[in-house]
Structures are given as structure tokens and as C-alpha cells.
Structure 1
Amino acid sequence: MTPVASVPPPTVQVNGGLASPTSSIQSPQNVASLPSISDLVGEINPAIASISVESVSRGLFFDITDQGAGSGMVVRADGHIVTNYHVVQDVRGIRVNLPNGESYLARIIGGDIVTDLAVIKIDPVGELPVVSFGDSEQLKVGDWVVAVGNALALRGGPTVTLGIVSARGRTVKTERGDLYDMIQTDAAINDGNSGGPLLNLDGDVIGINTAMLREAQGIGFAISSESALPIIDSLVEHGRVIRPLIGLNGADVTPAVASRFGFIVNEGVVVTQMGRGGPADEAGLLVGDIITKLDGIPTPNMTRFLTLLWSYTVGDTVQLEYIRDNRIGETAVVLVERR
């Protein structure tokens, strides 16, 4: 049998340097205090799916069939499974293999290229075990996390790796576009891990593994559960993401930007473009306004602004606080559907 190639997660590029070597060595006592995750793995494994995909590319004389693999997790007992959009995008066939040995053909319910999330569906004989989601907002840098997935499409069940939260709220530039509100971890994320869960030590999903940095070791990224849950619910219920639109483009205000343009704040979102007749335009916002809060919650950058915005639904009214001509203003914006 020809080996199945695992679907590579999106890769990112950064300019980095070498880390300084540590000056101390862990004692055996410290090593012994590392957490055991065997019980956690036993509980989560039944809800982890191994996904095989088949796609067709056109050759010069005949079509070429390609095979790939990724990961997923059961989010509804009736067979709804979450994975990454890039795993199932433009494929001809999808097969889901469960840890209990059952295998099913799957169909795509919906996908979202903006967050790189997709929901597929199988029709199981009975109800399936499902994952539980935790609150990624409670994560702290340094917390232990566990990555589970179909790494390298290896036989014998999911691969489990342990690491820590290295950073939160990252914006990651990939070949498929920017991904916002990402969790950075040093838990190993390899080809085939895409779509698998990132767990806290309670066994709750706090992220969905999606990208890695090939040029370095120990740098992987996961979509936060806070960002993922509204997308998953929308895909399950509607087959697409009904995302609210505010009708503006913005950029981060940084200390350097503030100094250059004479802003009185060092963080926020400066409006760079307005959609004529859109919600923000109707609410009286102008290019050059600096948005500092959304419904009273600080928006220090575009990542946080979009994360907050996408937690609302179409038809909601949000209150924006902004700075114009060094004065604070407020306005209410009614969100419409993004199409």
C-alpha cells in the first residue's frame, strides 16, 4: 500500500535568532514532577478522528490522484467533526477513521478560509464521544498544553505531544492569509496534526492545531477556542459563517506609529478605510479615528478588535469608543452580515 502523505499545515516565516543556552540543569526531582497525561489521553482519544483525503490535479496527459491526511475531533455526537479548512479544501473524497476501528466516508458541511476551520459530517452507527471545550481566555503563558493528532499519518492511533503556551494573541501570516488570535506553543505540531485539538490539563480543547514554523523547532500555532467556537456553531447550523461586518479597515497603533503621527495613545486601531454607506460610515466614524474600546473592552490592536467583533452576531449593536482630534467620542454601530 502506498503511504499516505500528511497534509502540511500552513507555514510561517519570521526573522529570529539563536536562544541563549540555559545555565542550569533540571534535577531528577524536577523532572519527576512533570505532569502525567495518560488519563487525559485515554479520555480524549475516542473523540479524535484521523482524516484521509483524495484530490485530483490535472497533468499534461492525464489526471493525477493525490492523497493526504489530517486530524479532526468530534464536536457533535451525531458525527459532526471539526478540522482545518486547508485539510479538506478542493478534495474529491474524505474518509474518517476513528480510534475504535470504524471508518466512514465524510461530506463537507462548510468551511471558513478566514479562520482555516471546516466542519465535516459522517453518519455513524450510534452516538460518538465528543470533545469538551475550555476557555482559552484563561490560558497563561507557561501553562501546560497537550497536542493530539494524526501526525505524519502514522498507524496505531493519534500522536500525543506535551508542551507549554509560549505566547497568546499572535497574528500569523501564512501562504493562505493572516490568522488572528493564535496560541503559540512548543508542543510538537507536525504534518498531519492540522485540525487536531490543543488541550489544557483538564482535557478541554482550548485550541485547534493549524500551523507550524518549519525553519525552527518548537514553534507551532493553534486557533484559540474563543475564536473557533462561534465559527464552528455557525458552520454546523448554517453551513457557512455568518460573520458580522462593521464596514471599515484598520491598522494597529503602536508607539512608533503614535510618535510619527502625533497620536495621544500608544495602542488602538486606527481607521484606514471606510466602506461608503456601511455600518461604521452610517455611525459617523471617519478615516483617522482611533478605536480604543468595543462595548467597553479595550481594543489595543486589530487582532483583539476582530476577535471581539466576531463574537457578536448580525443585528447586534456595539458601542465604539474612539479618539478624534485628541478628543474621546462614542458611537453605536449596528452590525450587518458580511458577504
Structure 2
Amino acid sequence: MRKNNFMLYGCLVLVGILVGSVLFVNPSAQAFWGDDKHVEQKKESKKIVIPQEQAITKVVDEVGPAVVSIITKKVKVSRDFFLNPVPRQVKGLGSGVIFDKKGYILTNNHVVAGAEAIKVILSDGRELQAKLVGNDPRSDLAVIKVDAKDLPVAPLGNSKQIDVGQLAIAIGSPYDVKFRNTVTTGVISAVNRTIRTKNGILENLIQTDASINPGNSGGPLLNSQGEVIGINTAIIGGSAQGIGFAIPINKAKKIVSDLIKYGKVKRPWLGIYGTDITEKLKNYYGLPVAKGVLIIQSVTDSPASKAGLSQGDIIIEVNREKIEGMEELKRIIKKQEIGDKLKLLVMDNNGGLTPVTVTLKEMPSK
């Protein structure tokens, strides 16, 4: 009997050893009992960086410091109960990008227009007073300047080389200065867009789905190489999402040069209001041609009026180049300089042709 008890005891000990060895060898059991020293150690997760993430972080590191917040003070006049004027000070917020070591900053005209004081906050926290160098309401661009040393500068790219679908990075100060240098990303959604804003019509814009919010205006739109390809300017409100617009940097380059040199943009001017001739318009008014520019009004004292152009005339050729509508006429005029002569071929309502030479003048600022 004692022998049987001894054998039973030995078997239990053996089973206990085997079970114990399983507990100490089995990782899941070790984890369960909390006896695994390796499980107690915090595992380090590897940071995997894909090429697009790498491009974005590189751009932000290199170009982000050149993006500034712009705070303006404007005076707006309202009326009290007795219709007396009551001036009040209003603060505005926008963004800008430093493009020259001399302290020149590119932004939107609507950010700084009418401002009594302009303050710039750099990415390093420095606050500087800025002065308006020049502004252009027609393109919604402006240049301001700060006096400071060791300023970071953003490289200007080539907006003619952008492709729909490529990466787009926007940096700015949405809603509040405490959100300055906010980065959003997306793609180039489309090019050559035209929109109507409360300040006028903007043409040939870049469309992007990178988030552009109030306060982002004037900030840069960048490509994956960290080059400025546009200046963020507008969003479509209401229920639309992911639809923002930027002024192509190539257009801005031409304007910036004039703003620094003259404080305004000098443009050649013909001085007409016109419309494209369509088949429908031709049939309705009995016009002799189906293509060209129909003059609706010739502005008083303009080059056009001084050359004898008047309402009802049809421009069908400019410098021996046939034109189909206003876009082609504007394209040709933009290539000219103030003082250049345009040779027009003009048709009257009876189909008679008359060559007319017009000397372009500087477009009035208003």
C-alpha cells in the first residue's frame, strides 16, 4: 500500500514538473502569469516613412520658416441709431511668404488693402512692423516689406510645369495666429480656373483640394520640391469642400516686379468692353461674321475711342492674326508694352473692312 502511494506521489511530482516547464517555456503562459521579462520590456515600434511623407516633412522643414502670419489693423465706419458715423478698429489675419532676403513678402491684396498698420509674425516668433510696397486689386496680389536680418527665403518655382494630380502643400495661418504655419496637403485638382470673388474676377487659377481656410490667404502653395507654385487666395464657400484656389506663381512674378519698381502694375490698355461673337449672336443681330469681338462700348478718351472705334464695330484681326473672341484679344494685348501699336482689322455691320492702328496706353488704376 505504501508502495502504491509512493508511486502516485512520484507521478504527481513528475506531472507538476512537466506542467511547470510548459508554463515557463510557453510565451503565452508566461505572458498570462506576468513572468516573461521580455514582455515587460516596452517594444520600440519602427517609424516607417513613405516617399510622400518624406517629401512633405522635407518641404515643411525647409520652406516653413519662410511663411509668415500677417496681422492688420483697419478702421471701418458704421452708423449708430442716429446715423452718425462711428469708426471702429478691426483686426485682420492672413499669411505671406518671404521671397527675397531684403525682406520682401508676397501676399494677397485683400489681406492688406486699406490697412493702417501691418504686423508680421515670423515662424521663429519675431514680430515685425511691415510697410506696404505695392498692391494690385486686379490680380489680388500685394508686396509688403520688413526690415530684418537672417530671413529665410522660399524658392519660387514654375507654375507652367505643374501637372494635375501632383502633390500640393499649403502652409498658412487658418482662423487664428495661434494656428500659424499649419500644413495641409492635397493635389493639384485643375488649372486655368476662373472664379468670381467679391473683389472681382480672377482668371487662370490653380485649383487644389489642400485645405485653404480663412487666414490661409496669401500663403504659399508648394510642390514636392519645396518650390512656391502658387499664392493661396480663395475658397468656395457654402457646402463645397476641398475646392481652393491659388494664383500661379509665374503670373505673380511679373506683377511683383512692377509692384517693387512702381508700387502698382503697369498694363497696356485698349479701352473697350466687348463680347465674343457666337452663331446665336450672329443670327439674332444679323451680324456679317460668326467670329470676332463685338465692341459693346468704347471707353471715353481711351486709345480705342481716339482711334475711332465705336459700339457695333467688330474686331476680326489683330496684327494680322485672326481672333475668335475676347480671350485671344486679351492674350495679344498682354504681350504688348505701353506705347506699342496694334494693327486691327475692323468690320462694320455692313461687312465693310477698315484697318485701324491703335497706340496702347497705360491702364488706369481704377
> Where on the TM-score scale, by shorter chain, does this alignment land: which range?
0.7 to 0.9
1:10-49 map, 5 Å? 36-49=55-68
The answer to whether 1:100 aligns with 2:100 is no
Query: Structure 1 stretches of 5 or more lacking a match?
Result: 1-31
- Amino acid in structure 2 at the alignment position of 1:315: G
The answer to whether 1:335 aligns with 2:354 is no
Match of 2:73 among 54, 61, 66: 54
Check the 8 A contact 1:171/1:303 in 2, yes or no. no
TM-score by length of 2: 0.71
TM-score by length of 1: 0.76
1:65-80 map, 5 Å? 65-80=89-104
Computed over aligned residues only, the root mean square deviation of the Cα atoms, in angstroms, reads: 3.3
Match of 2:266 among 215, 218, 242: 242
Larger radius of gyration: 2
Question: % of aligned pairs identical?
Answer: 37
SS at 1:44's partner residue? helix
Displacement, 1:329? 8.7
SS at 1:40's partner residue? helix
Question: Which residue number in structure 2 is paired with residue 110 of structure 1?
Answer: 134
Check the 8 A contact 1:180/1:303 in 2, yes or no. no
Whole-angstrom distance in 2 between the partners of 1:167 and 1:301: 23
Q: Which structure dedicates a bigger proportion of its chain to helix? A: 2
1:305-320 map, 5 Å? 305-306=329-330, 309-310=333-334, 312-317=336-341
Match of 1:200 among 223, 229, 232: 223
The answer to whether 1:289 aligns with 2:308 is no
Q: Identify the structure with bigger relative contact order (alpha carbons < 8 Å, sequence gap 6+).
A: 1
- Amino acid in structure 2 at the alignment position of 1:57: K
1:140-159 map, 5 Å? 140-155=163-178, 157-159=180-182
The answer to whether 1:139 aligns with 2:157 is no
Displacement, 1:211? 1.0
Q: Quick one: structure 1 residues 184 and 301, their matched pair in 2 at CA, closer, same or farther if it must change by over 3 Å? A: farther
Please give the per-residue CA displacement for 1:90-140, whole angstroms capped at 9, x wherever unaligned.
Answer: 22221101112221011112211111111111111x242322323323333
Displacement, 1:240? 1.6
Whole-angstrom distance in 2 between the partners of 1:304 and 1:195: 29
Please give the per-residue CA displacement for 1:145-171, whole angstroms capped at 9, x wherever unaligned.
Answer: 222211122426412222222232222
Check the 8 A contact 1:227/1:311 in 2, yes or no. no
Match of 1:220 among 241, 244, 264: 244
Query: Structure 2 stretches of 5 or more lacking a match?
Result: 1-49
Whole-angstrom distance in 2 between the partners of 1:63 and 1:172: 32
Check the 8 A contact 1:283/1:332 in 2, yes or no. yes
Question: Which residue number in structure 2 is paired with residue 173 of structure 1?
Answer: 196
- Amino acid in structure 1 at the alignment position of 2:363: R
Displacement, 1:322? 7.3
